[in-house]
Amino acid sequence: MKKLVLLFLLISVSVFSQNEKAEKEESINRTEMPEKAQQYLAENLPQHARKVRYYFETDGDRKSYEAKFKFQKHRYSVEFSAPGQLEDIEIEVDHNELDEEIFQKISRHIDRENERFRIEKIQLQFLPDTTGKLPLEKVGFQAQPANYELIVATKNSGKLEKFEMTFDAQGNFVKKRKATRISYDYLIF
């Protein structure tokens, strides 16, 4: 009986953790990143990138590495798996930089699901091709992002919550995870 209860608790925690975003970032030196990630950045980081910072990130059991920087008035995030494989490139944008039709579709979905909401952050997410490559210079606003990732503050029945919501390239809802606020968020960027 004890084993069944323990198994149930482990499964519950596993399912719950997939629906909650509880990231923790720790600043590191570039040399602490996997060799493969360092090589990718050496070959692809824009020459005029500013404020380049490196992080080790945990989100539940998932571990990854990130390089964050500013380039052409936008904040970029390049994420790598623990072994150093490129996972995605995200670019923070304002809502007025999105296609108006897509932004309206996203907003209507969020509005239907919530009494009140405020979009705090929008990122264009670009995924690598089948070879695992996506040169940073090819990431631009002419290219179609794979997804839109938003941080949305909501208020429902007097309860304030924050979510990470993902929408596909056409603005269709994909998934939502509760975002747990980390006390040092203001220090990261």
Domain with residue 41: its CATH number is: 3.10.450.360
Higher-scoring residue by pLDDT: 187, 170: 170
Query: Domain range for residue 34?
Result: 2-188
**Contacts (Cβ under 8 Å, ≥6 apart) of 118:** 152, 153
pLDDT of residue 49 exceeding 60, the answer is yes
Give the closest residue to 93 by CA, choosing from 24, 143, 57, 51: 143
How far the first Cα of the chain sits from its last, in Å, is: 48
Number of helices (H) and strands (E), helices first, in the chain?
4, 10
Q: Considering its fold, how many domains does the chain have in total?
A: 1
How does residue 136 score in pLDDT terms, banded at 50, 70 and 90? Answer: confident
Which pTM does this prediction carry? 0.80
Say how far apart CA 130 and CA 169 lie, in whole Å.
18
Higher-scoring residue by pLDDT: 5, 37: 37
